[in-house]
Amino acid sequence: MNIFREIRFYFKKNSLLFFLELIILTLFLTLVYVFALFTIGINEKTDKIENIYNGKEIYRLIDKLEDPEEFSDFLNSKSSVSVLSNFYNELDTDKNFQFLSVFDQFIPIENFKGDNTFDYAYGEDMEVKGKYKDEISKKIYQNAKSMQMNKNSFKFYDIELARGKEIDWEKVDYSTGRIPILLGNDYSGIYDVGDVLIGDYYGKDFKFEVVGFIKRNTYIFYNGSSEKYLDNYIVVPYPLRLSKIDNEMGDMESEFYGILYSAMINGDIAIEKSGNSLQTLLKNLDRISQKTSFDKYTIIGVRNFVVQYNNMIAAINNNKKIILFLLILNLIIMFIILKGISHFIYSKRKKVYYLYFLNGCNKGEIYKIFSIDLILPYILAFILNIIITWKYKFFDEMILIILAIIIFLVFSVIYRIFIKKLHKDLENGFR
């Protein structure tokens, strides 16, 4: 028997019902998919927040070089910049806390291939947007969003790669003029591993070599934002250790390191929570300050947003219950509708099964036609769901497996109902 010919006849007379069934199934699967994504997202966030902040206090260290003149004088003094390097190295290696140095200085990139969503000014009220010509170098630049981070921050925020290789921190050496970088996931298809971007980093030309891509939806806590997503960012690693400024070093070079070091000493400090964690931190900072002779810093508490975030998650968890209830309700309604449609289609197709039976087809062949009639919209709805999730970039294998199980279960129940009916009809000779 040619099954495909029967499918053709099936579509001819039942296309409207078929598409109705397909739409209902696809909508339901998409709804389940979004719910699963939402749940996984919330669980991941909750876990991440707990992992990061459970038993920890977060403070922010900021420099007090606010006065432009004072800052300029500081940068012009090579010994002062060296003091900064010592101060940073001590902060970064201290065993009593974790120093998380993160800064979002944009980087003008030559012949940038990305669209405006990667632009630092995208969605902001800024004058320079998109590509522009640098009046001095005459080169065409675009200011790409960038996040500079130290190794502690990478570990602390558990930044994982989608592909490529991890940063080899020992080899991050700005003096070579070449820095390995990671790209946010939105850069996939625009740049590839091994590509080299040329850009201006604090007034100095650098070659940025792409070594990997960060997993989609990776975010960090930055500057009061509880979810700073890195999907459209260039992530630049800070050097592992900062070198002192040599007296032989040119002024331009010295100024570059001055700006870089002063950016690097601004960061968050994570410390084990205790009754006197602030006192302990201040004591340790004071010790470092005395050792390095740098005291132009201050400490502020930044826990508020974490508390807000936890409150928000509690509210979302409550909403999750409501959504789960609606989802189950939706499943029941969908099941009733599907059963109704299947019943209608069965009534219309019964004559076909009967005629095959009447003319001598065995049970197995009739079950085969019936099964294909029934399973087609389920298979197509599942494929459509894969296409939709793929196209809109929220594809997740684990959720698809869950969806496959759900759709299989729904199909199994419907199939069981109607195969019993068909069996009964065959036993009774369709009378």
For binding to other proteins (CB under 8 A), which residues are involved? 1-2, 5, 9-10, 12-13, 351-352, 354-365, 426-431
Helices (H), 99-221: 151-156
What do you get for the CA distance between the two ends of the chain, in Å? 24
What's the min distance (Å) between Cβ of 417 and other proteins? 20
User: Measured between alpha carbons, how far is 345 from 352 in angstroms, rounded to an integer?
Assistant: 11
Q: How far from 36 is each of 30, 32, 218, 388, 397, CA to CA, in Å?
A: 10, 6, 18, 15, 12
Cβ closer to other proteins: 5 or 95? 5
What's the min distance (Å) between Cβ of 379 and other proteins? 22
Cβ closer to other proteins: 8 or 163? 8
Cβ closer to other proteins: 15 or 72? 15
Cβ closer to other proteins: 59 or 357? 357
State the angle between helix axes of 3-53 and 363-391 in degrees (0 to 180), rounded to the nearest 10.
40
Cβ closer to other proteins: 347 or 428? 428
1, 361 Cβ separation under 8 angstroms: yes
What's the min distance (Å) between Cβ of 364 and other proteins? 8
What's the min distance (Å) between Cβ of 5 and other proteins? 8
185, 216 Cβ separation under 8 angstroms: yes
Structure tokens at 294: 């740098």
**Angle 202-77-103 from CA coordinates, rounded to 5°:** 30
What's the min distance (Å) between Cβ of 420 and other proteins? 15
- Residues whose CB falls within 8 Å of the CB of residue 110, separated by 6 or more in sequence, listed in order: 139, 140, 141, 197, 198, 199
What's the min distance (Å) between Cβ of 362 and other proteins? 5
DSSP codes, 360-414: T--HHHHHHHHHHHHHHHHHHHHHHHHHHHHHTT---HHHHHHHHHHHHHHHHHH
Amino acid at residue number 138? K
What's the min distance (Å) between Cβ of 9 and other proteins? 5
From its phi and psi, is residue 284 left (phi > 0), alpha (psi between -120 and 50) or beta?
A: alpha
- Residues whose CB falls within 8 Å of the CB of residue 145, separated by 6 or more in sequence, listed in order: 104, 106, 118, 119, 120, 122, 232, 233, 234
Helical (H) or strand (E) element with 196:
strand 196-201
What's the min distance (Å) between Cβ of 414 and other proteins? 22
Cβ closer to other proteins: 151 or 368? 368
250, 37 Cβ separation under 8 angstroms: no
Cβ closer to other proteins: 352 or 402? 352
User: Measured between alpha carbons, how far is 295 from 303 in angstroms, rounded to an integer?
Assistant: 24
Amino acid at residue number 323? I
What's the min distance (Å) between Cβ of 21 and other proteins? 18
What's the min distance (Å) between Cβ of 399 and other proteins? 38
Cβ closer to other proteins: 195 or 365? 365
DSSP conformation class of 67: S
Q: How far is CA 305 from the centre of its chain?
A: 20
What's the min distance (Å) between Cβ of 114 and other proteins? 53
DSSP conformation class of 275: T
From its phi and psi, is residue 235 left (phi > 0), alpha (psi between -120 and 50) or beta?
A: beta
